[in-house]
Amino acid sequence: MSTTYEYKGDYINGEFIRPSRKDGEWSNVSPGDLKDRVVSIDWGYESIDSAVLSACSAFVKWRRLSFDQRKEYLFKLKEVYTEHKEELAEAISRETGKPLWEARTEAGGMIGKIDITLNHSMKLVAEQRIENALPNVDGVIHYKPRGVMAVIGPFNFPGHLPNGHIIPALALGNTIVFKPSEKTPYVGQLMAQLFHKAGFPKGVFNLLQGQGETGKRLVAHEKVDGVLFTGSYDVGLRIKQETIQHYWKLLALEMGGKNTCIVWDDADLEKAVYENIAGSFLTSGQRCSCTSKIVLHKSIADKFIENFHQTAKKLKIGHWKQDDVFMGPLISEGSVDNYLRFQEIAKREGAENIMRGKVLELNPGGHYVTPSIHRVAKNDPQSIYQKSEIFGPNVCIYTVDDFDEAIEVANTSGFGLVTSVFTKDQSLYEKAWLEARVGLLNWNRTTNGASSRMPFGGMGKSGNDRPSAHFAVQYCSVPVSSLEDQTTFNPESVFPGVDYEFK
Ligand code: NAP
Q: Which mean pLDDT values do the consecutive 10-residue runs of the chain (503 residues) have? A: 92 96 96 98 97 98 98 98 98 98 98 98 98 95 98 98 98 98 98 98 98 98 98 98 96 98 98 98 98 98 98 98 96 98 98 98 97 98 98 98 98 97 98 98 96 97 96 98 94 95 94
For ligand 1, whether the C-beta of 214 sits within 6 Å is no
Q: What is the DSSP pairing of strand 148-152 with strand 24-30?
A: unpaired
* Residue 256 to residue 269: CA distance in whole angstroms: 28
210: CA distance to ligand 1 center in Å?
A: 13
pTM over 0.95: yes
Superfamily of domain 259-451: Aldehyde Dehydrogenase; Chain A, domain 2 (3.40.309.10)
pLDDT of residue 342: 98
Nearest atom in ligand 1 to the alpha carbon of residue 257 is: 34
**Is the distance from CB of 32 to CB of 365 less than 8 angstroms?**
no
For ligand 1, whether the C-beta of 219 sits within 6 Å is yes
CA distances from 21 to 17, 18, 25, 43, 320 (A): 12, 9, 11, 8, 36
pLDDT of residue 1: 65
* Residue 141 to residue 124: CA distance in whole angstroms: 12
pLDDT of residue 2: 81
pLDDT of residue 275: 98
16: CA distance to ligand 1 center in Å?
A: 24
Listed in order, the ranges of the chain carrying CATH 3.40.605.10 are 11-255+463-482
Superfamily of domain 11-255+463-482: Aldehyde Dehydrogenase; Chain A, domain 1 (3.40.605.10)
Give the SS3 label for residue 212. Answer: helix
* Residue 215 to residue 47: CA distance in whole angstroms: 12
* Residues labelled catalytic: 254, 288
